[in-house]
Structure 1
Amino acid sequence: MNKMNFSAHVLNVFDEMKTSYEEVKNLMFDLYKNELDDGISKREAEDKLREVSLKIFGLTKDSSRRERERAYRDHARQYFDVIEEVTDWTVSTGLKENEWFNALVNYRNLKEGDTNLFVNEHEEVILSIARMGKRHHDTMLQRLPENTTYSVETDVYGAAVGADIDRYLIGQEDWTKLVDAITKAFVVKIQELIFAEILEAPKKLPAQSEFVQTGALNTTNRKKFNKVLQNVSVANDNADVVIMGTMVALQELENLIDVKWVADSQKEDIAKMGRLGNYGRYTLVEIPQRFARNDVTKSMYKDDTLFVFATGDNKLVDMVDVGETLIEEITERGTANSNIADIMKYEVQRELGVSTRIGRYFGSWTITD
């Protein structure tokens, strides 16, 4: 972002503090990454950024709630212009922080120069489910011949973040927690949408009984479970197989192991991770569980579902990220779009598109009691 895009008010703040936007932006990045230059303490960096923030809003650390509310109304847009570039980076990084995301999502960031063009390299794509388009949110089913190119429609998505900004300015939270709050408000929402797509994908597989099964994980069903693993391997030219699930789901695999034959290395895995690191020759990949935002009674990911994938390209989800984060004020006070508990409500917005494309056979097991 060129500093000429800033308002005269923001430029005056930089001049008054004898600093520049580039210096402020670099300090924001360094503090968030915990990579401060020698001689600069975390406390000094926090104080400097909070001072810049307060001056942009025209506030002091002792300003009243009424004064802060008026300042947010008058200067929030100017403040977000300064920090949006930092949140661009944290959102892009946050989306790719999970191992399951990297294994299952073919991610394209258009800001980094990628194109919104995908090539089907499989001889037979079982199904393509295009989702989240600008014109509709209906499911589109289509078959894609080998070497077909296609693009993914995009739409603007948003997630709310409100009172965190006020807590930061009055000193109750530091810069890292503020940026985490802004980032997670969006990242968690998108990861939840993507995982919802993945949960639906097994229903579209042909030969359901060979790849999609339900039952308790116990010695009675061990052969049935192992058969799913074998089917996935054989259907993918005898490829190695990985098993994905939350920790709770992966822990159920212990019921299939005869403790008399457990290797010492497996005992060490359980001691370190709380679960097995592998099931026989199959590697286990943990999907980190999260609560739904602001609701500790609801988990984001199902603890009763295991996925079975052949190693290699299992990227079921093609995701296009336009790559520019916007933070907008939601001004409809007293309506369903506002939050009375917040001094002001803001929404993190980003344009993206997602499609689910099943090019290889995989399996799933729904765990029952």
Structure 2
Amino acid sequence: MADANLIKLAVDSYKGHIAGNYSTEDSMEVLRKALIEANGGSTTLDFRAIRDGKCNGLFSIVEQIINKTVIEGLPESCPLFNYVEWRNLKEGDSNIFELRDNGVFVVSDIAQGTQGLRRQRLTGGEEITVKTQLKGVKIYEELRRVLAGRVDFNDLIDKVSESFQKKMRNDMYDAVVSAFAGLAAPYSNGTAGSFDEGKLTTIIDHVEAATGKKAVVIGSKQAVRKITGVKGADANTAKEELFSMGYYGHFYTTPIIVMENAHKVGSTDFILGNDLYIVTGDDKFIKGVIEGDTLIIDGKAIDNADLSQEYLMAEAWGLKAVISEQMGIYKLS
């Protein structure tokens, strides 16, 4: 187990919160020396030393730092993470989510002096599980350069962070698109067309009537830009929002939240189309599971023709969007 003070120093440095007499440069040098020490005193990655098990302490340090700075920081990278219910589980633990029963009791008219009503009870919500899958990125080049003093350790974290965040965001978008595709009238306009203020208003009203909660409109930049200006809105305020953000911040009293789009794997097609998703502000309708610990899996250099050493940074997670409270979708062409 790596020294807790060393891990804290590295995490604080990455987040820009250096305590005591350390500067960011000082903390990077302390960390680099600790990595070199864990690497048997060498500033290079030697496949022979790894083969003989002499570098385990090195990867233990890197694993713990990456876990704290990258994985724990993922919810801060995208507004949609606010709608995720997270579970951090040990490998093999049950990841059952129990959905709330959102039904209500029927209140009936009764005559004086009678109790002749049909009894009702809450039956409880559905239970679901979220399948997890191991994901990984290779980080050999950056780690080698950190040891040699040619690159800041924060650059390594940034590389891994960007890779993991993009993949997790894409998985989340796929889950949302799949879940909302099955919605029907009156919570969907059915067929994509040009923007119609009345149709969007109707779907929002239905969602709020069904849930008793304030709705929010979320979508890609391409989608929310199709929302035209609200009638009667202050022209200067609306113009300022349009020029500063590229879209209107509200549709009447309903907030609009933008999701940064992403490409489908292996193509230049966007995952998010022109659909607008109408959700309630406090419903965590995306279920997310991070299973086990972050780990580094080292390859075998002798298996590669150039004797290069490969390292896989891996994390198991799963994401699933579940519409347990009523939501809506407005499809745009």
Q: Does 1:269 align with 2:241?
A: yes
Q: Give 1:48's match in structure 2, choosing from 5, 17, 30.
A: 30
Following superposition, the deviation at residue 292 of structure 1 comes to 7.0
Q: CA-atom RMSD, angstroms?
A: 3.4
Q: Name the amino acid aligned to 1:358.
A: I
From 362, 365, 368, give the equivalent of 2:327: 362
Letter in 2 for 1:326: L
Q: Does 1:278 align with 2:247?
A: no
Deviation of 1:274 (Å): 2.6
Pair 43,210 (structure 1): closer, same or farther in 2 beyond 3 Å:
closer
SS in 2 for 1:252: coil
1:160 lines up with 2:137 in the alignment: yes
**Between Structure 1 and Structure 2, how many residues are aligned?**
310
1:198 CA drift (Å):
0.8
* Residues 1-369 of structure 1 mapped to structure 2, 5 A cutoff: 1=1, 21-58=3-40, 68=46, 77-97=56-76, 98-103=78-83, 105-110=84-89, 116-123=95-102, 146-148=123-125, 150=127, 152-162=129-139, 163-205=141-183, 207-208=184-185, 210-218=187-195, 221-237=196-212, 239-253=213-227, 256-257=228-229, 261-290=233-262, 298=268, 301-313=271-283, 315-331=284-300, 343-368=308-333
Residue 221 of structure 2 aligns with an amino acid whose one-letter code is: M
- C-alpha distance in structure 2 between counterparts of 1:43 and 1:342, whole Å: 33
On the 8 A contact 1:202/1:212 being kept in 2, the answer is: no
After superposing the two structures, state which structure 1 stretch, 82-91 or 340-349, moved more: 340-349
Inter-partner Cα distance in structure 2 for 1:321 and 1:217: 40
Residues 1:27 and 1:261: Cα distance change in structure 2 (over 3 Å): closer
Q: 1:26 to 1:32 in 2, by over 3 A?
A: same
Query: 1:59 Cα deviation (Å)?
Result: 6.2
Distance 2:32 2:282 in 1: 46
- Cα displacement (A) at 1:52: 2.3
Distance 1:311 1:41, change over 3 A: closer
How far off its partner does 1:91 sit? 3.4
1:286 maps to a residue whose letter is V
**Residue 38 of structure 1, CA deviation:** 3.4
Residue pair 1:87, 1:179 contacting (<8 A) in 2 also = yes
Q: Kindly indicate whether the alpha-carbon contact (under 8 Å) linking 1:244 and 1:286 is maintained by their aligned counterparts in 2.
A: yes
Q: 1:102 to 1:260 in 2, by over 3 A?
A: closer
Measure how far apart 1:328 and its partner are: 1.1
The Cα shift of 1:36 comes to 0.9
TM-score (norm 2): 0.78
Question: Kindly, what percent of the aligned residue pairs are identical?
Answer: 21
TM-score between both structures, scaled by the size of structure 1: 0.71
SS in 2 for 1:90: helix
Deviation at 1:58, TM superposition (A): 4.2
Contact in 2 for aligned 1:321/1:352 (Cα 8 Å): yes
Higher helix proportion (structure 1 or 2): 1
Q: Whole-Å Cα distance in 2 between the matches of residues 350 and 243 of structure 1? A: 31
Partner SS for 1:302: coil
Q: Counterparts of 1:94 and 1:272 in 2: how far apart (Å)?
A: 27
SS in 2 for 1:367: coil
Which residue identity is paired with 1:226? T
**CA deviation map 1:147-179 (0-9, x unaligned):** 247363553412212333234334443111211
- In structure 2, distance between residues paired with 1:306 and 1:164: 40
How far residue 243 of structure 1 moved from its aligned partner, in angstroms, is 0.6
Q: Which has the larger radius of gyration?
A: 2
Structure 1 residues 26-60: Cα deviation after superposition (integer angstroms, max 9, x where no partner): 21111111111232111111122222223333465
Note the alpha carbon deviations across 1:255-287, whole angstroms, 9 max, x for none: x22688444333332333232211111101121
Q: Which amino acid aligns with 2:134?
A: Y
Cα distance in 1 for partners of 2:41, 2:269 equals 39
Q: CA deviation at 1:359?
A: 1.0
Are the counterparts in 1 of residues 264 and 271 from structure 2 also a CA contact under 8 Å? no
Query: In 2, are the aligned partners of 1:192 and 1:300 still within 8 Å (CA)?
Result: no
Instruction: Tell which deviates more after alignment, 189-198 or 73-82.
Output: 73-82
C-alpha deviation, 1:108, in angstroms: 1.7
SS at match of 1:106: strand
Q: Distance in 1 between matches of 2:262 and 2:147?
A: 28
